[in-house]
Amino acid sequence: MSVVLVAIACAACDPPPPPKSPRDADADLEPSSKPKKKKKKKACKTFEDECKGGGTKKTVVVGADGWRLAPPKGWLYAKLAEGTVTQESDKGAVLALVAVEAPQNPQLLFKARTDAVAALSGVTGIELKSPKTLFFGVSEAREVGELSLKLWEQAAKRGGSDGDAVVVAGKIDDKELVALGFVPADNDSGGNRIFDALETLEKKKATPEGSDK
């Protein structure tokens, strides 16, 4: 009787799965061949992208075709509509630069520089002590990387902190480069890091025809 019951019970069981072929067994041992999704490249058009300087990393100078510079290591940077901005923090040392049209007329060039400084001041929060008299002050000639530029300095504030602002301007190809930097009074290294970044300014070499690089 018990033999019959066992036979009936087994008849109700699901049939065992068929044995795997050697090919299926090997497939279980192999890692997945599905391609991994590539990490999306940051656009670096806002500080929310959290692009940071470091190593040989360079970013473009807004308005200057082919020109790039290396942001200071650890500083955030972004390519904004008003210009390229790199900063130590929201209230700390900062450097902003842009290339604008360079009129031959001195008065129009003065206006172009003034307008560029105003735009960069607005996007960085730098408050110059006397922006209207900035370019009437004594300038200092400065060789920066491959460029011959002029430099002006003025007291300024940013985020409630007193400090010094520096403005650099000069020809970059057929345009005018305007850079605005700020260093808080209690920051001993910010100024050096700003000028070290400016020293990295260079024009990207044209890619030879037929090259894939």
Cα–Cα distance for residue pair 63/42, rounded to 1 Å: 20
**Residue 24: per-residue pLDDT:** 55
**Residue 3: per-residue pLDDT:** 45
Query: pLDDT means per 10 residues in the chain (213 residues)?
Result: 45 57 53 63 91 92 96 97 97 97 96 97 97 92 90 96 97 97 95 95 70 38
**Residue 10: per-residue pLDDT:** 47
**Residue 55: per-residue pLDDT:** 82
**Residue 150: per-residue pLDDT:** 96
Cα–Cα distance for residue pair 179/186, rounded to 1 Å: 22
All domains in the chain, ordered by first residue:
47-203 (2.60.120.1690)
Stated pTM of the model: 0.78
For residue 113, the Cα-to-chain-centroid distance in whole angstroms is: 23
**Residue 31: per-residue pLDDT:** 54
Which residue in the block uniquely carries the two structure tokens 């001993």?
Answer: 188
**Residue 17: per-residue pLDDT:** 61
Angstrom distances, CA of residue 209 to CA of 24, 206, 212: 49, 9, 8
Compute the residue count for the chain: 213
**Residue 120: per-residue pLDDT:** 98
**Residue 16: per-residue pLDDT:** 61
